[in-house]
Amino acid sequence: MMPEDIRQKLLTKPFEPFRMLITDGTSYEIRHPDCVYVTRTHIVIAPELSGGLPKGLVICDPLYVTQMIPLSDNGHKKRNGKRK
């Protein structure tokens, strides 16, 4: 994915949390735009904030990002006002 596309998703107001899928099958829940830093050649992801501090960092090439899936409603779709 192009770095500009990822950056634009992070800058969307209001921010909508999303799941970032990587080519190796891993995924990361991005619940705050400050958890991701994007450059032309790298993405730095700080997953699982604990007490305001990340537990570690993940660095990957933006081209390895395959999808950004919204996490709205905690990933559950509603039907007639009820969760599936």
Looking up tokens 């998703």, which residue turns up?
9
Whether pTM exceeds 0.75: yes
Q: Let me know if residue 57 belongs to a domain.
A: yes
* pLDDT of amino acid 82: 45
Q: 64 to each of 17, 22, 38, 45, how far by Cα in Å?
A: 19, 5, 13, 13
Domain ranges, residue 44: 3-71
Q: Let me know if residue 52 belongs to a domain.
A: yes
Write the CATH number for 32: 2.30.30
Q: What is the pLDDT of residues 24-79, one digit of tens each?
A: 999 999 999 999 999 999 999 998 777 778 888 999 999 999 999 999 765 444 44
Q: Let me know if residue 81 belongs to a domain.
A: no
Q: Let me know if residue 61 belongs to a domain.
A: yes
With cut-offs at 50, 70 and 90, classify the pLDDT of residue 83.
Answer: very low
Q: Let me know if residue 25 belongs to a domain.
A: yes
Q: Let me know if residue 77 belongs to a domain.
A: no
Q: Let me know if residue 84 belongs to a domain.
A: no
